[in-house]
Amino acid sequence: MATIINEPAHTFNEYLLIPGYSSSRCIPENVSLRTPLVKFRKGETPALSMNIPMVSAIMQSVSGDRLAVALATEGGVSFIYGSQTVEDEAAMVRRAKSYKAGFVRSDSNISPDATLGDVLRLKEQTGHSTVAVTEDGTPDGRLVGIVTSRDYRLSRMELSIRVRDFMTPFEKLVWAKEGTTLREANDIIWEHKLNSLPIIDDSGRLCYFVFRKDYENHKQNPNELLDSHKRYVVGAGINTRDYAVRVPALLDAGADVLCIDSSEGHTDWQKFTLAWIREHYGDSVKVGAGNVVDAAGFRFLADCGADFVKVGIGGGSICITRETKGIGRGQATAVIEVCAERDRYFEETGIYVPVCSDGGIVYDHHITLALAMGADFVMLGRYFARFDESPTNRVNIGGTYYKEYWGEGSARARNWQRYDMGGDKKLSFEEGVDSYVPYAGSLKDNVALTLSKVRHTMCNCGALTIPELQQKAVLTLVSSTSIVEGGAHDVIQKDTTPSFK
């Protein structure tokens, strides 16, 4: 007969933290969110740690090279999606690793034969008003001009007018050669009162932009996560099929840490993948595995040599695995059980294997709950998909901006490797949906707000570090009525939308 667990599996929304004693030192500015990314032995320092407990999901609609740079700037790690060719993923990793702080690769590019209408559509997609005009419309084509909002007036120009007829031509641009330092570039910007400075190579091809607005930002990134060569730390996703080809290519491109992207990690396929990596690279290559939802799954992957273990099946906002296959577990219950097993494993072996909570995060405070329950960091998809830096288009629907967001198990992604059970190389049925999420602006601003909430809550619990939170936290289950009570209720809320009459 099947083993039946009669205790319900709970979600983050069913828990609250009970505040504890806070000393005078317990203020948000004193809180450290530093956390281990990979396993380490007792008394040793992890080979990789993060300055914030956030990583981005291994998804087409979330983790490209732009988001990898933006998240590493804030102190976290992005895992560039693996559901693309080996060459394309390696190229993304290489671009992120070669990125120079302050030097931005252009993602708004157009050819001189395009029209004003094309410019407006591109601006709506990217949200950027500076458009590089290159001969072939590519990010690294020969620069022939720039278009900004100062170059056109919609009330006086036809949408069919060619870009070449209203752009600011190259001859009138102020530019700098590749090799110019960031300080020199900023001096040029201030001297000539520019908003942006294109950087070109000896052939006139566009390399980067330096923007005036980024000047202060790059002075205010104390949490930047850098490797020993002062490059951003970048992660990458792999699968259990082509790892013998993909892993060497990603390492050659400079990837600092890998993660097996799979909907279910308690399998021989992950065991084989980890064994191959250990046989060829020993412990020098850092690779996470998952996903699991119970103690047995954690123990299996830890014994197989995983550097961290991801927890969560079916809890993502675009995931329908529980609906289609009937497998999974409430995220809070899964995290609590796995983290308890992680602690037992540490006591027995002296090896600490970090736990990543993947999925189930709806509100910012759920991150704090996941950490309090034992997770070392969280993996987020929907959260990061909303930002400028995610790879998807920004679209206008009914006057409101959204970003596209789809699951790796959707027909759009067709990432059969993630759901591979050793059968045919195809996606037999969908385990994810295609959707939109509200556009939220820049990653930097949103992450800063989210982590401010985390720090404040930790202070309410009397904790200045994540391990201290896990030691001191007191969590209570709440009833459905209590959940209602926790929000605004029994009032008529005022309309906060500004009126311009």
Q: Classify residue 221 by burial, with Cβ atoms within 10 Å: 0-12, 13-18, 19+.
A: middle
Q: Classify residue 35 by burial, with Cβ atoms within 10 Å: 0-12, 13-18, 19+.
A: buried
Around 316, how many Cα atoms within 13 Å sit in the side-chain half-sphere? 34
Which residues does residue 379 pair with via DSSP β-bridges, in sequence order? 55, 358
Q: Which of 141, 30, 91 is nearest to 468 (CA)?
A: 30
Edge to edge, what strands does the sheet with 196-200 contain? 176-177, 196-200, 206-211
> Which amino acid does the sequence have at 105?
R
Strands 168-169 and 176-177: unpaired
Give Cα separations from 198 to 132, 144, 167, 270 (angstroms). 9, 11, 15, 45
State yes or no: is 418 an active-site residue: yes
| Alpha-carbon gap, residue 30 to 27, rounded angstroms | 6
State yes or no: is 319 an active-site residue: yes
Report yes or no: 123 and 223 within 8 Å, Cβ to Cβ.
no
Report yes or no: 147 and 110 within 8 Å, Cβ to Cβ.
yes
Report yes or no: 97 and 253 within 8 Å, Cβ to Cβ.
yes
Read off the tokens for 469: 């939170």
Catalytic residue among 207, 259, 319, 339: 319
Catalytic residue among 94, 418, 455, 461: 418
Tell me the torsion sign for CA atoms 52, 365, 293, 62. Answer: negative
Report yes or no: 259 and 79 within 8 Å, Cβ to Cβ.
yes
Q: Write the DSSP symbol of residue 148.
A: -
Q: At residue 456, what are phi and psi to the nearest 5 degrees?
A: -65, -40
Report yes or no: 351 and 343 within 8 Å, Cβ to Cβ.
no
Read off the tokens for 234: 């970048």
User: E strands within 432-480?
Assistant: 434-438, 475-477
Which residues carry out catalysis? 319, 418
